[in-house]
Amino acid sequence: MIEVYIDGASAGNPGPSGAGIFIKNAGKVERFSLFLGEMTNHEAEFHALLHALKICLQNGFRTISIRTDSELVSRSMEKEFVKNKGYADLLHTALQLSKQFELFFIKWIPSSENKTADELARQGIRKHKEKGANTKNE
């Protein structure tokens, strides 16, 4: 089973946001650090999930276990419902993607167990800030 750790982060709420994805596959690891644009922290968490699901599908993974420190994302996926209608489209897309796997699990984990994905998400924000700073100096 493929273990996928995800996290979203925002520098402000809303603010520049990033997604971190850490995939463990039979001893091999892959790390993804993505800039997401301006959004809230909860939106960043959902976008981290969406990107992770797409990466796993592109790699042909059939059985995955997502680990997230976002209670909102894990509960929403398990219950297939979100109270805040602003997240409904994100949840709907995530549910559609998750149904393409033979087996899909999502589990909430404490932040202390998700440090790698958290750092990758923060790197996504920093990369964008550094790129913006370099662009302004040119």
- 1-26 pLDDT tens trace: 999 999 999 999 999 999 999 999 99
Given the DSSP bridges, would you call strands 2-10 and 63-68 parallel, antiparallel or unpaired?
A: parallel
Mean pLDDT across the chain, nearest whole number? 94
Superfamily designation of domain 2-137: Ribonuclease H-like superfamily/Ribonuclease H (3.30.420.10)
pLDDT of the chain, 138 residues: tens digit per residue: 999 999 999 999 999 999 999 999 999 999 999 999 999 999 999 999 999 999 999 999 999 999 999 999 999 999 999 999 999 999 999 999 999 999 999 999 999 999 999 999 999 999 877 776 543 333
> What is the DSSP track for 23-55?
EEETTEEEEEEEEEEEE-HHHHHHHHHHHHHHH
Domain boundaries, the chain: 2-137
User: pLDDT tens across 93-102, in order?
Assistant: 999 999 999 9
Q: Is 80 left (phi over 0), alpha (psi -120 to 50) or beta?
A: left
Q: Minimal CA–CA distance to 111: which of 23, 20, 24?
A: 20
